[in-house]
Structure 1
């Protein structure tokens, strides 16, 4: 049974008699280039993934009142919590007096403090930090946007937790989107390219969602950059540098193989380690960071290349180009020897013939991108954030002439491998990775961000 079927069964059993049901889905992200160096002022490029976190919420009719419950189920985190609204108001009297204001997060710090203390008291003692942070973020967004009122929510995800694919950001974005929809604060495009189920949100609404999602990310991570929630919210590709986030209109469709090393890592320790290395070797590391910055800038240019430049040359085109190159070589050799009073037969060639200066050849966009990604992986090794498992994955994929790179903090987590559109050995690649004990799955980069799904009772007017 997949995630969607499990949610349908669970929700339909308990929500059949209720009125308002909304779904939201937000994608994960992959950092194409620039991680770690971005902390030191250089650029980074990130893209959305077609792997989603999905939230389904039900808000019971208003007459249920304090007799209703707040129910949260997070299967991937093994969290299932339920409180009556009356208990929440009794336990959080200061929040009961707070008037929800979905349009601004000003003054939200006091709410965070109260929620943090409540969750630490209510959660089981053996709960991990990820589960605690997720529940704290959910409750903060719930109180700030809707207030203390009945609500039932189930959150499932296709994203592995703690693997560098933006699972927490997708969580915060999808939760914020669903809550703001129930609050009536989002407007939608009249038509959606994904059919009736999923609706696209107008940019003004996405800005509001992104603001709240960033507040949720602060609860989970402390001082996030804002890249993850921005990519998850708006989708597509973004360039991030010195706090400025620019959305990139890429024209190149990319697909990849994501491999989970299943090695846990400490992001803060890895970031600190790069900083310490930069202090020990300031000039050398400054050169490394500058190289990464140049790679990020060039990646943006490559992704914005016109589609026709990304087209693989046809065999006929390749043959014609080769013949033209050979003709130029023969003419060059003929003119050279004739200038010395010599004559040669250019109808045949051998391995020792003189060659004309090589003509610039068109390089496929994906080839350029692969080279840049390989260079970035080498620079990440220089920073000390790779790992033997990451290098092992790179070695396996290189046997198939594929380029791989860590994404995110490194030290474990996930590795992505660019897949050419004409690759026929993908199953062989996956098989070799699985034999080595890794988990892998295919994904596409640069798709849509947050979308909202409705049931008929709250479907907005076209």
Structure 2
């Protein structure tokens, strides 16, 4: 398959991520553990019969169309796949900003800029071979935006995957290919480029989890490792719908650390050790040293300890404590995830918990104005499947989550 003979329609998806342990402490080179989330972002790329490129992002209210000859394919950007986007030639940057047609700091525009940037550098990767047809990309996400669940990384991964397929740099069935790991590494490489456009200096863990799936341990400056023996776990994700500033929360912890170093440093070190205990528990499960029941007991203990430490750092919130109270009344363990101060909480659901209990908990939480998602962690990362002629790109906008999940 060449770029000019692309499969008519392809459905691509990638998961979000959830931090299990190590929020805030990861800033200070402590171990964090993150896992792929069952909630996913979906993309449909469809070949067009004209010379137009259309990008439709309904979640951020973007609908842009360009002609093929508007793309800046004549720029000289040597080693663009290893250089930071801020190093792009001024000529390229000005043209991309013009094509994006808005304030570069606007979140919607950043998503558009990330797409355009990937389109340019992936075409360079494909030896500059121009397309001889247009295409439509529609992206739809079931991840809450700005909730610390890796929505931008999930978007970056599906865009990266779709464009690499478009330019014949990876096959549609890359997950069943003998070169699967190489294809995933290429997807992750370009997704990270998109994350750099959006965030400037991302850690790389979000796009890695969205690309490879499963669970990763991560230490800033040292990279990430796959958790050996990790198994998929069921959980309840609750969005408080309380807005918060991640940067402000991180800054507040930093100030507290400066003021009370002899107190805060042991808290951060304890959180580091929680990440290690989580990693080691899954290794023991893999080696047969503990049972799944033993694992869930330890995870539950670590959840309570980690949240208490985060509360000690001052990053919990009354809404998060309300969620913990409601779930605790039903024997479930809950912690905040992400920056805190609102945002989301995760509740772990063991195999011994019957669905009627989960339903009751969700009902109580919804009565408090929270949004609940029953999902799982640790599933597959990036994936793609060809679609039939009956499933146009617009079909993606009309299809429910459960139906889409059956494709992946």
TM range (shorter): 0.7 to 0.9
The Cα shift of 1:283 comes to 1.4
Cα distance in 2 for residues equivalent to 1:18 and 1:231: 27
The Cα shift of 1:417 comes to 0.3
The Cα shift of 1:85 comes to 2.4
DSSP-derived class of the 1:38 partner: helix
DSSP-derived class of the 1:305 partner: helix
User: Where does residue 62 of structure 2 map in the other structure?
Assistant: 79
Q: Which of 169, 172, 194 pairs up with 1:185?
A: 169
User: Where does residue 26 of structure 1 map in the other structure?
Assistant: 14
Q: Which of 25, 29, 54 pairs up with 2:42?
A: 54
Cα 1:190–1:430 shift into 2, 3 Å: closer
The Cα shift of 1:105 comes to 3.5
- The Cα offsets for residues 136-178 of structure 1, whole Å up to 9 and x where unpaired, read as 1111111111367533110011111011110000000111011
User: Where does residue 164 of structure 1 map in the other structure?
Assistant: 148
Cα distance in 2 for residues equivalent to 1:410 and 1:393: 13
The Cα shift of 1:407 comes to 0.9
User: Where does residue 428 of structure 1 map in the other structure?
Assistant: 360
User: Where does residue 92 of structure 1 map in the other structure?
Assistant: none
User: Where does residue 96 of structure 1 map in the other structure?
Assistant: 73
Cα 1:101–1:235 shift into 2, 3 Å: farther
Cα distance in 2 for residues equivalent to 1:188 and 1:155: 17
DSSP-derived class of the 1:258 partner: strand
- The Cα offsets for residues 290-343 of structure 1, whole Å up to 9 and x where unpaired, read as 10011000011122332663244xxxxxxxxxxxxxxxxxxxxxxxxxxxxxxx
Deviates more, 1:128-137 or 1:108-117: 108-117
The Cα shift of 1:126 comes to 8.9
The Cα shift of 1:251 comes to 4.1
The Cα shift of 1:241 comes to 1.0
RMSD: 2.8
5+ residue gaps, structure 2, are 125-129, 390-408
Cα distance in 1 for residues equivalent to 2:96 and 2:80: 25
The 8 Å contact of residues 230 and 378 in structure 2, kept in 1 or not, is answered as no
Equivalences for 1:411-422 in 2 at 5 Å? 411-422=341-352
Cα distance in 1 for residues equivalent to 2:155 and 2:178: 18
The 8 Å contact of residues 19 and 60 in structure 1, kept in 2 or not, is answered as no
The Cα shift of 1:101 comes to 8.7
Deviates more, 1:411-420 or 1:243-252: 243-252
The Cα shift of 1:52 comes to 0.9
User: Where does residue 301 of structure 2 map in the other structure?
Assistant: 371
User: Where does residue 305 of structure 1 map in the other structure?
Assistant: 284
Greater radius of gyration (CA): 1
Equivalences for 1:54-453 in 2 at 5 Å? 54-60=42-48, 64=50, 68-86=51-69, 88-89=70-71, 95-98=72-75, 104-106=81-83, 108-111=85-88, 117-118=94-95, 121=98, 129-146=106-123, 149=131, 150-186=134-170, 192=176, 202-243=180-221, 244-306=223-285, 309-312=290-293, 364-424=294-354, 425-453=357-385
Cα 1:388–1:129 shift into 2, 3 Å: farther
- Aligned length in residues: 373
- The Cα offsets for residues 221-250 of structure 1, whole Å up to 9 and x where unpaired, read as 122111100100111010001322101133
Cα 1:228–1:114 shift into 2, 3 Å: farther
The 8 Å contact of residues 188 and 202 in structure 1, kept in 2 or not, is answered as no
The Cα shift of 1:388 comes to 1.4
The 8 Å contact of residues 6 and 166 in structure 2, kept in 1 or not, is answered as no
The 8 Å contact of residues 248 and 300 in structure 1, kept in 2 or not, is answered as yes
The Cα shift of 1:18 comes to 8.8
The 8 Å contact of residues 165 and 172 in structure 2, kept in 1 or not, is answered as no
Cα distance in 1 for residues equivalent to 2:277 and 2:315: 23
Cα distance in 1 for residues equivalent to 2:324 and 2:92: 43
TM score, norm. by length of structure 1: 0.74
- The Cα offsets for residues 76-95 of structure 1, whole Å up to 9 and x where unpaired, read as 11111112223x24xxxxx3
Cα distance in 2 for residues equivalent to 1:96 and 1:159: 33
Cα 1:102–1:75 shift into 2, 3 Å: farther
The Cα shift of 1:59 comes to 3.7
TM score, norm. by length of structure 2: 0.84
Cα distance in 1 for residues equivalent to 2:79 and 2:52: 21
Cα 1:159–1:404 shift into 2, 3 Å: same
Cα 1:18–1:367 shift into 2, 3 Å: closer
Cα 1:311–1:222 shift into 2, 3 Å: closer
The 8 Å contact of residues 258 and 442 in structure 1, kept in 2 or not, is answered as yes
